Structure 1
Amino acid sequence: MRELATKPKQHGGHAVGESEHLLTARFNRSLQVEARDERLSGDGGAVLLREAMERSGIVADLADWLEDPRDPDLITYTPADLLRTRLLLMGQGWRHGQDVDRLRHDPAFCVTATGHRGAETLDIALPSQSTVSRLDGILARPANNRRLSEALMALASRRLKASRKGRRKRRLAIDIDGLPIAVAGRQPGSAFNGHYKMRIYDPLIASVGATGDMLDACLRAGNAGSADGALAFIRDVVARAEQQLCQVGVIRIDAGFPGEELLSGLESDGTPYIARMKPNAALDRLSAPYRRRPAGRPPEEPREWCLDLSYQAGSWAQPRRIILVVTEQTDGDQPRAFYLVTSIAEEAKSAEEILQLYRERGTAEGHMGEVKAFLAPALSSSPRPKSQYAGAPVYRAVDPPTEIDAFARNEAVLKLNLIAYQLLHVARTAMEAATGTGVSLHRLQRAVLTTSARFVRSGRRLSMIIERRFADFWQAILAQLDRWSWAPPGA
């Protein structure tokens, strides 16, 4: 029987099945590097992130909450498609917008970013870079920006409740921190900051240090004072946290925040706080008698002691409780000291208990460091009007550039980064619960997120094949996600 010759299908300039020789390794001439049109991905972990999205229901809910000004009859990608694309790329470490076009046909992203089902999802390309970037303009609208904050708080609440069989935490400490973010060029609202010696934004971030959850963010100019806008931000976070999350046990803040407006505002609200204080000459004179090293030979292990003081700064309306913390030095130098100010009464917590509670901020700072180092938020959004809908030219899509606030766009991008962090945190805490060991985001990335995968389609069935040596991590995370008690979507 005569064999029928078939012309190979063309894909990306090469026939399917053909290979393109790239390299013969000099260190080993038998090693050949070739490029082929196979459905391979280095981002198999996107499947796990999509599972976290589905369990939490947060992306579907956020898409329903958003005000989308686009004509629904003229769009190809829904708000949920755009949100999934943006969050999956961020979670997998693709922070630059120009990466989107290169990854449009990556099989892991194709099957996870779309809302469609079935094996045909392998052929549904991601939205283009320009389409994805216009999502920022939609999210920059005031009502949508607010929805991002609500989604971030809701995701933290759902994760905590799911891991506690649907029960709320009774009481949590909330940490308020600045998160300096370097910017390139002259983004609106950015400014040179003399302390950091670079041009930055200086947003406020609210988080739960004990659990690693991010609650909200507020973008601020790069030259903002530490306490600028802090009272309104904290009040809003506390109100929503006590409605959705838990009773707020204490607000913890660092040395740049304790001004009269903030402290008196929290006191009038009945919100307890602990803040570090910058030293000054008056405090040093007040505490001098208690900062001397005790007489006698010092023990091998340095000693530390705390003392309650009452102090009124010149700008304060009243005296406040100050905790003096003195730490002995091993080199024989004079002990070092620092100060805390708190609204918690001495009969409620001793000075030692206040110090211990404040030192738990270190966990929050570690998680903030992960946000900055792992996600590395790139705040460089700029207005980009849409010129086409479904291939047809239009005068404009949503808003002309002059009506889009680039500062608000960058704030929306920051909040998207924190939502991406929360999805990673869902996967991380599931892995920790299943394995009984701590997991950093970098370990999660190496062990799970960047899993190499091959996609095989057979009829209506779609298989993703990963290396067996990583299967135990996948099984542990998926099993834990199934064990947790997730609330129904929209709840």
Structure 2
Amino acid sequence: MGEHQGNLFEPQFNRSVKVQSTDHRITSHAGVIMLRDAEHRLGLFDAIAKDVRDPRREDRIRYRIDELIRERVFAMALGCSTQDDVDRLAHDPAFRVAVWNRTGDAVADERLASQPTQSRLIGILTGQAGNLEAVRNGLAQSVQRHVIASGGRRVKQATVDIDSFPIEVHGKQHGANYNGYYKKTVYHPLVASLSVRGDYDSTRQGNRLGNGFIHATLRQGQVHTADRMKRFVDKTDDHAHSIAQHVDYRLDAGYTIGSVMDELSSKNRRFVGRLKSNTKLDALAAEHIHRPPGRPPQNGYKYTVELGNYQVDSWKHAQRLILVVVDQPDPTTGQLNLMPRWFFLVTNWDEESRDADTLLTHYRKRGTFEDRLGEFNESIGVHLSSQGFKANEATMLLALLAFNLNTICRNELEDAVGGGWDMRRFVGSVLKVGGRMVKHSRRLILRIAESAEPLWSMLTERLEGWQMTLPKPSVGQGFLPPPDHAHLREVLRQ
């Protein structure tokens, strides 16, 4: 009878199984310790916090800016994207150890900030001039610091992909509008992502590590896909050249407009992008659409045609035009379609530098960037539920920071194991790991699930190999007691 008293319940399928609750030092997010070690070695959040103006009284601060940012970003990195999630994670032992920027074993006993305090963080980031830009600049800093850590200097060449995507909202958020293309009420942010040598899997070819979002801005839901593009490219270009010596751009059809291409050409920046088709372009293509006599090959035909320089009245500079013909059989019938498909690439690369086939191969690597946008929505799942536009932009930037931090660790693991990992698999196998925090002889010992040990060992070895001077330990600071209304144990929300 005494054995039964501590049981939560007994499953009926096997009466030998007993489910019991245990102490609060059990965690299912042990991987947050690995994220903190990577972030600490890069010195990322400390650098961002130094540029954030904090209006609070220093003698009344329990949670510093870097700790608040760390708590929210780590939560997002593990898929806990809503602000309410931090009320639960504030009691998680691994989160407590990872978030506090203070030394000693006392960090395991101090609860973290609550949801209202995280709301005040958003108020600080949006209420003081320059604070939001400090977080935005942190995107490029995260990629830059990883590139330097993995190689000691800037890379020689990198490619920037720019695109927009929808973030659906439900409510009366300022700036969220119905978008006829997506047929939803959305925000329509613009993001730029950098990859070394234009390849997001560059390490497989022996190139340097380093890719991720380097710039982003939130826009109203109804704006055109190229709205504010010129200013966005200027800022992106500054960030990109802090990471790479030479930068080129890949653009979707929505951005191959005169103002954007002329701006890049005037700066001597190389680009390639799809060009929207029209009747004049289709007429140019018609004479090059042909099929040789005889039985077609099993995979059909695919070829490129140089069409020379092309310019419309609104363009300041003529650009090189390439026709791409894709004449492939129907996957069901195995027969060629009545007419082949074709599209156009426009570029300011000259033929001696990159021929048409090389440019096509380079442009198609942009598909991995589009996959990254899908992974961001799937693994982070940012929720923009604040009424204020700037507050939602701050939340989005923190979410992109979380994705960059995950990407850094995933890249290192991929390079160690020699394979590709999607973000959901990485989070589930490496970050969402069970563990138990043990306090022994004034030390904190995290005991993780044995199944995670091989991956953690490989990732730890990679982090220890970074060519970067470790930041100095933070100045010791005691803990102000939590407010009287703070719950020291997790409670169910009503």
Choose from 114, 131, 145 the match for 1:144. Answer: 131
Using the alignment, how far apart are the partners of 2:31 and 2:407 within structure 1? Answer: 13
Q: Give the 3-state SS of the residue equivalent to 1:173 in structure 2.
A: strand
Report how far residue 434 of structure 1 moved.
2.1
Which residue identity does 2:377 align to in structure 1?
Answer: K
Q: Give the 3-state SS of the residue equivalent to 2:130 in structure 1.
A: helix
Counterpart residue number, 2:396: 414
Report how far residue 314 of structure 1 moved.
5.3
Counterpart residue number, 1:347: 352
**Gaps in structure 1 of 5+ consecutive residues:** 1-16, 383-405
Counterpart residue number, 1:386: none
Distance 1:167 1:304, change over 3 A: same
> For structure 1, which segment, 142-151 or 103-112, has the greater mean C-alpha deviation from structure 2 after superposition?
142-151
Which residue identity does 1:273 align to in structure 2?
Answer: F
Counterpart residue number, 1:320: 319
Which residue identity does 1:293 align to in structure 2?
Answer: R
Report how far residue 162 of structure 1 moved.
1.3
Choose from 336, 343, 367 the match for 1:332. Answer: 336
> For structure 1, which segment, 309-318 or 423-432, has the greater mean C-alpha deviation from structure 2 after superposition?
309-318
Deviations 1:110-159 (A, max 9, x none): 11111121111111101111101211121224401111122211110111
Choose from 369, 373, 382 the match for 1:377. Answer: 382
Whether the 8 Å contact between 2:136 and 2:216 is mirrored in structure 1 is yes
Deviations 1:272-310 (A, max 9, x none): 111111211111111111123233321223221111223
Q: Give the 3-state SS of the residue equivalent to 1:287 in structure 2.
A: helix
Counterpart residue number, 1:387: none
Whether the 8 Å contact between 2:72 and 2:86 is mirrored in structure 1 is no
Report how far residue 80 of structure 1 moved.
1.2
Whether the 8 Å contact between 1:61 and 1:489 is mirrored in structure 2 is no
Counterpart residue number, 2:485: none
Choose from 279, 282, 304 the match for 2:280. Answer: 282
Report how far residue 206 of structure 1 moved.
0.6
Counterpart residue number, 1:11: none
Whether the 8 Å contact between 1:19 and 1:35 is mirrored in structure 2 is no
Using the alignment, how far apart are the partners of 1:332 and 1:196 within structure 2? Answer: 32
Whether the 8 Å contact between 2:299 and 2:328 is mirrored in structure 1 is no
Counterpart residue number, 1:78: 64
Choose from 140, 149, 161 the match for 2:148. Answer: 161
Whether the 8 Å contact between 1:191 and 1:200 is mirrored in structure 2 is yes
Using the alignment, how far apart are the partners of 2:351 and 2:439 within structure 1? Answer: 67
Using the alignment, how far apart are the partners of 1:381 and 1:56 within structure 2? Answer: 31
Where in structure 2 are the equivalents of 1:17-166 lying within 5 Å?
21-140=7-126, 141-164=128-151, 166=152
Report how far residue 469 of structure 1 moved.
2.2
Residue 232, structure 1, aligned to residue 237, structure 2: no
Distance 1:25 1:75, change over 3 A: same
Counterpart residue number, 2:297: 299
> For structure 1, which segment, 22-31 or 264-273, has the greater mean C-alpha deviation from structure 2 after superposition?
22-31
Deviations 1:223-259 (A, max 9, x none): 11111011111111112221x2013431111011122
Counterpart residue number, 1:204: 190
Q: Give the 3-state SS of the residue equivalent to 1:347 in structure 2.
A: coil
Whether the 8 Å contact between 1:174 and 1:248 is mirrored in structure 2 is no
Normalized against structure 2, the TM-score is what? Answer: 0.87
Using the alignment, how far apart are the partners of 1:248 and 1:204 within structure 2? Answer: 22
Distance 1:19 1:354, change over 3 A: farther
**Gaps in structure 2 of 5+ consecutive residues:** 201-210, 330-334, 473-494
Whether the 8 Å contact between 2:194 and 2:240 is mirrored in structure 1 is no
Using the alignment, how far apart are the partners of 1:353 and 1:108 within structure 2? Answer: 48
Deviations 1:147-177 (A, max 9, x none): 112221111011112112x022101110001
Report how far residue 369 of structure 1 moved.
1.7
Which residue identity does 1:483 align to in structure 2?
Answer: G
> For structure 1, which segment, 92-101 or 20-29, has the greater mean C-alpha deviation from structure 2 after superposition?
20-29
Whether the 8 Å contact between 1:56 and 1:486 is mirrored in structure 2 is yes
Deviations 1:430-461 (A, max 9, x none): 21222222222222212211110111112312
Report how far residue 317 of structure 1 moved.
4.4
Report how far residue 348 of structure 1 moved.
2.6
Using the alignment, how far apart are the partners of 2:37 and 2:22 within structure 1? Answer: 29
Where in structure 2 are the equivalents of 1:352-363 lying within 5 Å?
352-363=357-368
Q: Give the 3-state SS of the residue equivalent to 1:357 in structure 2.
A: helix
Q: Give the 3-state SS of the residue equivalent to 1:36 in structure 2.
A: coil
Report how far residue 179 of structure 1 moved.
2.2
Which residue identity does 1:148 align to in structure 2?
Answer: V
Which residue identity does 1:361 align to in structure 2?
Answer: R
Counterpart residue number, 1:393: none
Whether the 8 Å contact between 1:19 and 1:34 is mirrored in structure 2 is no
Residue 171, structure 1, aligned to residue 157, structure 2: yes
Distance 1:360 1:293, change over 3 A: same
Whether the 8 Å contact between 1:19 and 1:36 is mirrored in structure 2 is no
Report how far residue 204 of structure 1 moved.
0.9
Distance 1:254 1:458, change over 3 A: same
Distance 1:350 1:19, change over 3 A: farther
Distance 1:487 1:440, change over 3 A: farther
Distance 1:341 1:18, change over 3 A: farther
Deviations 1:365-390 (A, max 9, x none): 122221111111111234xxxxxxxx
Report how far residue 95 of structure 1 moved.
0.7
The CA RMSD over aligned residues, in Å, is: 1.9
Choose from 268, 271, 274 the match for 1:270. Answer: 268
Choose from 442, 464, 469 the match for 2:424. Answer: 442
Deviations 1:404-452 (A, max 9, x none): xx21221111111111111112211221222222222222212211110
Normalized against structure 1, the TM-score is what? Answer: 0.87
Whether the 8 Å contact between 2:83 and 2:115 is mirrored in structure 1 is yes
Counterpart residue number, 1:9: none
Q: How many residues get paired?
A: 449
Using the alignment, how far apart are the partners of 2:70 and 2:317 within structure 1? Answer: 51
Using the alignment, how far apart are the partners of 2:254 and 2:285 within structure 1? Answer: 21
Q: Give the 3-state SS of the residue equivalent to 2:255 in structure 1.
A: coil
Whether the 8 Å contact between 2:302 and 2:326 is mirrored in structure 1 is yes
Which residue identity does 1:183 align to in structure 2?
Answer: V
